[in-house]
Amino acid sequence: MAVEIPFRREFSFEYGRLEPVAPMIRRIVARNPSPFTFRGTGTYVVGSGEVAVIDPGPDLPDHVDALLAGLVGEQVTHILITHTHRDHSPAARPLQQATGAPTFGFGPHAGGKRGDAGVEEGGDWDFVPDKTLGDGDRIAGRGWVFEAVHTPGHTSNHLCFALPDEGVLFSGDHVMGWSTSVIAPPDGDMAAYMASLDKLLARPDAVYWPTHGPAITEPKDHVRAFVAHRLEREAGILQCLHAGPTQIDAIVERLYIGLQPGLRHAAARSVHAHLIDLVDRGIVESDGPPTIEAHYRSVRG
C-alpha cells in the first residue's frame, strides 16, 4: 500500500555559478551537499538590476563571494529568509555587510526560545530579521512583488515566498522535490506541517522552487503525495502501538526498513513528531511527557 512520492532528483547546475533558471530567476548552489541538503543550498536571485536574494545559505565565504561576483553591477535590495536553519540564513550577515540590504523573515529561530541543549543543533540562533513578515505580507521591489506565506511545520518560523504574477512559489524546505521534509520536535511540528501542506493545496502557484534540488512543476500532485505519505506513516505507527506499548526506537526499527544508519536519528525525530501530534489529538498516550524516551500506547488498545 506504500504511497509513491514523485521524487525529482535530476538536477543540473554548476557549483559557484549564478545561473538563470527561469524568467526573472537565477540560482547559485552552495558547496554544502549532505544527506539533508541534497547537492547543497540553492540561493535564489529574483529580478535584475535591483534584486532580492532568497536564502543566502550557509556561512561559506566562497559561496557569498561567488554570489557577489555574479551580481557585479547590480544592487541587492532585499534579503529574504525562508527559515533559520544553518544551511539557509547565516550567510545573510556577510551578504548584508557587503550590500547593506535589509533582511526579511518571520522572526528568530524557535521564537528565540532555546529548547533542550543539543536538540536544535541545526538552528541559526543568531539571525534576527531587520523586518518581520507575517502571513500574507507583501514585499515590493523593482519589477517584482512577493507575498509571504507562513508555513510552519519544518520550523515554526518557516515562510514560503510567492511571486503571484509569475505563478511561482519559493517553497524553502517546506516542500522539496528530492526528499520529504524533516519534522523534528520541539520546533518542528507535525500538525502545523500538515496544515501548511493543506494551505499550499488551496493556492494557485504553478511551479515551486525549493531551496534544495530542482523545481517542482506539478506541485499539487507532489503535495498530495506528501500528505498521503504522512497519513500512511501515522497509520503504521498506530499499527505498531496496537501490538502493545512501545518506544520510538522500536517503531523506527519496524517502520523504516533498509534505512541508512546516518538517517536513524532523523527518522526517530519524525516518529516523535507524529506521536506528539497523536497524543495532542487524544489517540495515543505516553507515560509522562511525550519525550523521545517515553513509552507510548494506543488509547483504543
Chain residues that interact with Zn ion, rule: CB under 5 A: 85, 173
What's the CA gap between 219 and 201, in Å, rounded?
9
> Quick one: 173 or 187, whose CB is closer to Zn ion?
173
Report the nearest approach of Zn ion to the CB of residue 82 (Å): 8
End-to-end distance of the chain based on CA atoms, in angstroms? 24
Pairing state between β 131-132 and 138-141: unpaired
Q: Min. distance of Cβ 85 from Zn ion in angstroms?
A: 3
Taking the C-alpha atoms of residue 246 and residue 286, their distance in angstroms, rounded to an integer, is 10
Q: Report in angstroms how near the CB of residue 179 gets to Zn ion at its nearest.
A: 11
> What residue is closest to Zn ion based on CB?
85
Closer to Zn ion by Cβ: residue 156 or 298 = 156
Shortest distance in whole angstroms from residue 262 CB to Zn ion: 17
CA atoms within 13 A on the CB side of 58: 15
Cβ proximity to Zn ion: between 120 and 173 the closer is 173
Which residue's CB is nearer to Zn ion, number 122 or number 164? 122
In the complex, minimum distance from the CB of residue 100 to Zn ion, in angstroms, rounded to a whole number = 27
Task: Output the smallest distance, CB 89 to Zn ion, in A.
Answer: 10
Evaluate whether 63 touches 43 at the Cβ level (below 8 Å): yes
Give 92 or 251: the residue with its C-beta nearer to Zn ion. 92
Closer CB to Zn ion, 59 or 173, in the complex? 173
Closest CA to 160 of 190, 100, 203: 203
Residue 183, sorted as left (phi over 0), alpha (psi -120 to 50) or beta, turns out to be beta
Residue 8 or 85 having the CB closest to Zn ion? 85
Max Cα–Cα distance, the chain, nearest Å: 66
Q: Minimum CB separation from Zn ion for residue 269, in Å?
A: 13
